[in-house]
Amino acid sequence: MKKLLMVILVIVLALSCLSVVTAFAGETAAVTTTGDATTTTVEEDDSLAARVTRWLESKGIPQWLIPFIVSIFPILELRGGIIAARIVGMKLIPAFIICFVGNMIPIPFVLLFIKKIFAFFRDKKFFGKIVQKLEARAESKSEGFKKGEVISLFLFVAIPLPGTGGWTGALVASLLNMPLKKSLPIITAGVFCAGLIMSLLMYGVLGFAF
């Protein structure tokens, strides 16, 4: 059990490190309107999600698995997963399901173990700086959560903007000492809503009809 826990801790830490490394990378999309449907064209040269998608494709990863992998990463999350799904030509419904599941898999582990991870690595030479940056980032986000924490957490996760999402939402909830049974349903609803918004942006109105 201890070995399994350590594996989980290392995975979560590695993904957290990725979030710091890629925090300043851009993720852009140009939105164009055609007829009565709105579609989004990904600018591959500037999009982190597009670059990760192309890299995974170059490694021979199955196309259906790429959006799942992208959705697990912090910073990218479901937002990047939907972009990846659009790039590889995946249809809307399977794309939504795969990205939603991928984004949600790490969240319970973040809620349960992130404080233990930070406590373990805080005094380590290299990881200590990363932990401090992640804590400072989450602390800055948590200031607005003091009142109306339920709706604040939901909106923070639900609106798919850079720096928001399930990962950061779970970190903020953990620092606010929100219990798992309270925070997890809120984050789940927020991720679902973010998926609807991103699906509408990337696949357009007609994507929901067909």
| Chain segment 81-95, per-residue pLDDT in tens | 999 999 999 999 999
- Higher local confidence (pLDDT), 134 or 162: 162
Mean pLDDT, to the nearest integer, of 94-121?
Answer: 88
Of the candidates 4, 40, 27, 3, the one whose C-alpha atom is nearest the C-alpha of residue 205 is 40
Q: Kindly indicate the confidence band of residue 4, based on its pLDDT and cuts at 50, 70 and 90.
A: low
The pLDDT of residue 46:
52
The pLDDT of residue 209:
45
> Is 115:88 a contact under the CB 8 Å cutoff?
no
Q: Kindly indicate the confidence band of residue 37, based on its pLDDT and cuts at 50, 70 and 90.
A: very low
* CA–CA gap between residue 82 and residue 35 (Å, rounded): 22
> Is 85:67 a contact under the CB 8 Å cutoff?
yes
Specify which of 20-24, 42-46, 102-106 reaches the highest per-range mean pLDDT. Answer: 102-106
The pLDDT of residue 171:
84
pLDDT higher than 50, residue 30: no
Mean pLDDT, to the nearest integer, of 5-30?
Answer: 46
**Residue owning tokens 């997963």:** 81
The number of helix segments (H) and strand segments (E) in the chain equals: 11, 2
* CA–CA gap between residue 189 and residue 17 (Å, rounded): 26
Residue 161: how many other CB atoms lie within 10 Å: 9
Q: Mean of the per-residue pLDDT values for the chain?
A: 76
Question: What share of the chain in percent tops pLDDT 70?
Answer: 69
Specify which of 4-8, 25-29, 94-98, 173-177 reaches the highest per-range mean pLDDT. Answer: 94-98
Residue 67: how many other CB atoms lie within 10 Å: 29
The pLDDT of residue 157:
93
> Is 42:49 a contact under the CB 8 Å cutoff?
yes
- Higher local confidence (pLDDT), 9 or 131: 131
Q: Kindly indicate the confidence band of residue 8, based on its pLDDT and cuts at 50, 70 and 90.
A: low
pLDDT higher than 90, residue 21: no
pLDDT higher than 90, residue 98: yes
